[in-house]
Amino acid sequence: MYVRFSLNADLLTSGDIPGEAAAAIEQAVQEANETSFRRGVPKEAQPDDIGRITGWSVEGNALRLSIASGPYTRAHDALFRFRKSIASVLGRHRIGVRGIEVTGFTIRLEGSVEPAAIPRLPMIQETAFDENGVLLSLTLNAADLENKVPDRLVRLIEEKAEAMAYGGKAEHWELIYESPRQPPRFDRDPTEEMVKKGWIKHGAARGQWIYGPQAVQLFRAFETIVLEEIIRPLGFSEMVFPKLVPWEVWKRSGHAKGVYPEIYYVCTPKTRDPAYWEDVADYFKVTGEVPVEMIRDRIDGPIGGMCYAQCPPFWPFVQGETLATDCLPIHVFDRSGTSHRYESGGIHGIERVDEFHRIEVLWLGTAEQTVDTADRLHAAYTRVFDDLLELEWRCARVTPWFMAQEGLVGVSENEQIGTRDYEAVLPYSGGWLEFQNVSVNGNKYPKGFNVKIQSGADCWSGCSGIGLERWTAAFLAQKGFDMADWPDRVAELVGEPKEIFRFL
Ligand code: SER
Ligand code: ZN
């Protein structure tokens, strides 16, 4: 898609612009068109690609400008650049620039653009298609231009067009490792078996389980393996990340771009004055029903949501900081709580739920350090799955989770950046279950949270989510419930299932 911008704007001045200023203004316009607007533009750019003032006139206390551009020194950037230089010219006549009034702004996209890729936004006033592309007429003000709204709009349309072009094709998935085959010991759905055995029961909320002691013995056995075989040898330190995530974090992590259909939203009371809530409590006391509509009127927010991806709420810990070279790479992990996703109809077994438990491993440093940690993690996981759990599994390069969660498709252009999914075969269905991932996230998070490193090199980070429910589902689906069939180490760590409840 080729893009053109065109705008009309008035620079409003503190007093009428005198006729004798005309020559100096014309000179400033030429200087801008020939020099200042060309700064930073690649040599191969054509004159039409670059911002230029195509016309100007004076009307009382307004300097009316028409500016056009292709992709370089975009019309709105040119406008602000010109404001600076004209301010000193007008200053000589004791006139100051007071403000900018945008009287017209259009974006022309050339190439084939699907109408469905153009979002309905209040700023788009008119959309006109023709055989060569589309012309968008926008209503916006100078603050919107300073906030780069036109650029964001173009990027959004490009992303939507990419997603649509990708639409029909399967998600990105590229096999990079396949384990040896393992003889299946079980051919049923392990969740159903756990329910039958009384190891787990549905929680009162949707997509939520209450795990009995027997199931938790498995969780803790896997956690021990992760700690002893992966986290300790690789030198990760435990932290506790918050589990309520405010918009402030999701704006920086990119989740604010796409995660809305899956959030568990969090609200706060408008006041904690008991008198304000008395009728709500009384309503319940009288009717036995909680008056949800009454509550809705008395709460603020949502202020954000419950933990979704686990690592984003770590980042305020390092936000705005420069990390000393001698503390890098930083290796930490969190296992302090649940993650929540509104899975709607997708709920299945213990492996696809609205509330789940995960150990999140996170690291940051230089690009080399970050990639190295990911590779060492991958080697450690491979040993654990092949030798300790004896799983039949495979590993694939997929759309990075941080892109997928923003609603993007494809893979990163940089080969080193991306997500590897670990999948285990489920003998009862023949399907594959993604039970954890390892990602090199590039500079995405350090950039979003403004984290630098002492050497001035780009700061990179990575993370790996280890799903306890999913390890359990994969392991039981393949190995079944007869501990004689289990690898020794797992059997030993789990021990005899504790049957502490007896229901009459
Ligand atoms: N943060 C990553 C994810 O959400 C790894 O847990 O998938
Ligand atoms: Zn993560």
C-alpha 166 – ligand 2 centre gap (Å): 25
**pLDDT tens profile 248-298:** 999 999 999 999 999 999 999 999 999 999 999 999 999 999 999 999 999
301 falls within a domain? no
The answer to whether residue 257 is domain-embedded is no
Domain's final residue, options 166, 194, 225: 166
Burial of 247 (0-12, 13-18, 19+ CB in 10 A): middle
Cβ–Cβ under 8 Å, residues 154 and 107: yes
| Active-site annotation holds for 470 | yes
Q: Rounded to a whole number, what is the distance in angstroms from the first to the last CA of the chain?
A: 70
**471 C-beta closer than 6 A to ligand 1:** no
Per-residue burial over 33-61, b = 16 or more CB atoms within 10 Å of its CB, e = otherwise: beebbbeeeeeeeeeebbbbbeebebeee
Domain boundary among the residues 112, 141, 166 is at 166
Sheet strands (E) in 192-337: 200-202, 209-211, 237-239, 244-246, 265-269, 299-306, 322-323, 330-334
Indicate if the pLDDT at residue 475 is higher than 90.
yes
Ligand nearest to the CA of 255: 1
pLDDT tens-digit profile of 74-91?
A: 999 999 999 999 999 999
Residue of 356, 360, 406, 440 to test ligand 1 pocket, by largest number of atoms within 8 Å of CB? 360
**What residues form DSSP beta bridges with 299?**
269
Integer Cα distance of 398 and 381 in angstroms:
18
* Same-domain status, 38 and 180: no
> What are the CA-CA distances from residue 31 to residues 12, 37, 64, 85, 291 (Å)?
21, 9, 17, 9, 68
Active site includes 437? Answer: yes
Ligand 1 contact, 329 CB (< 6 A) = no
Q: Per the residue annotation, which of 307, 311, 395, 459 is the catalytic one? A: 311
**What would the two tokens of residue 23 be?**
């020559």
Catalytic residue among 38, 81, 352, 394: 352
333 and 414 in a single domain? The answer is yes
246 is a domain residue: no
**Cis peptide upstream of residue 329 (ω within 30 degrees of 0):** yes
Same domain, 160 and 186: no
Q: Is residue 253 part of a domain?
A: no
Measured CA to CA, the distance from residue 9 to residue 65 in angstroms comes to: 5
Whether 103 and 42 share a structural domain? yes
- Does residue 411 form part of some domain? yes
Is 247 within a domain? Answer: no
User: Does ligand 1 come within 6 angstroms of the Cβ of 398?
Assistant: no
Rounded to an integer, the average pLDDT of 122-139 is 94
CATH of the domain at 68: 3.30.70.1920
* Distance, CA of 56 to CA of 9 (rounded, Å): 10
Find the farthest-apart pair of alpha carbons in the chain and give their distance in angstroms, rounded: 100
Looking at the structure, tell me whether residues 100 and 142 fall in a common domain: yes
360 labelled catalytic: yes
Supply 380's token pair.
């450690």
461 lines ligand 1 (CB under 6 A): no
422 within ligand 1 shell (Cβ under 6 A): no
Count of all residues that appear for the chain in the document: 504
Q: Are residues 324 and 376 located together in one domain of the fold?
A: yes
Q: Which of 166, 198, 220 is the last residue of a domain?
A: 166
Q: Is residue 274 part of a domain?
A: no
The catalytic position among 151, 434, 458, 485 is: 434
Asked if residue 189 has its Cβ within 6 Å of ligand 1, the reply is: no
262 part of the active site: no
User: Which residue in the list 252, 341, 420, 489 is annotated as catalytic?
Assistant: 341
Instruction: Give this prediction's pTM.
Output: 0.90
CA separation, residue 458 to residues 186, 414, 446, 453 (Å): 48, 14, 9, 7
- The pLDDT of residue 171 is 79
Residue 267 is among the residues annotated as catalytic for this protein = no
Q: Which atom of ligand 1 is nearest to the CA of 339?
A: 4
Q: How far apart are CA 381 and CA 437, in angstroms?
A: 10
Here the tokens at position 398 are 């997929």
309 ligand 1 Cβ < 6 A? yes
Residues 110 and 236 in one domain: no
Does 318 lie in the same domain as 236?
yes
Q: Is the CB of 436 under 6 A from ligand 1?
A: no
Ligand 1 atom with least separation from CA of 405 = 4
Mean pLDDT of 231-243: 98
Q: Let me know whether 151 and 178 are in one domain.
A: no
Query: pLDDT digit string (tens) for 332-361?
Result: 999 999 999 999 888 999 999 999 999 999
- Euclidean distance between CA atoms 338 and 207, whole angstroms: 13
Neighbours of 71 (CB within 10 A): 17
pLDDT tens per residue, range 11-61: 999 999 999 999 999 999 999 999 999 999 999 999 999 999 999 999 999
Atom of ligand 1 nearest to the CA of 360: 6
Tokens coding 474:
């994969």
Structural domain includes residue 188 = yes
Q: What is the DSSP letter of 286?
A: H
Annotated active-site residue 48? The verdict is no
Q: What is the pLDDT of residue 144?
A: 97
Atom 3 of ligand 1 has which residue's CA nearest to it? 309
Q: Residue with the nearest Cα to atom 5 of ligand 1?
A: 465
Same domain, 236 and 143: no
- Whether 282 is catalytic: no
Q: What is the mean pLDDT of the chain?
A: 96
- Position 168 scores a pLDDT of 65
Query: Based on the structure, what is the number of domains in the chain?
Result: 2
Cβ-based burial of 159 (10 A; exposed 0-12, middle 13-18, buried ≥19): middle
Instruction: Count, in order, helices (H) and strands (E) of the chain.
Output: 14, 22
Q: Does 349 share its domain with 479?
A: yes
The domain in which residue 90 lies consists of 2-166
CATH number at residue 213: 3.30.930.10
**How many CB atoms are located within 10 Å of the residue 119 CB?**
11
Confirm whether 352 is a catalytic residue: yes
Ligand closest to CA 405: 1
Q: Of the residues 249, 332, 401, 422, which should be mutated to test ligand 1's pocket, given the most ligand atoms within 8 Å of the CB?
A: 401
Please give the pLDDT value at position 334.
98
Same domain, 344 and 409: yes
Q: What is the mean pLDDT of residues 229-245?
A: 98
How far, in Å, from the CA of 48 to the mean position of ligand 1? 44
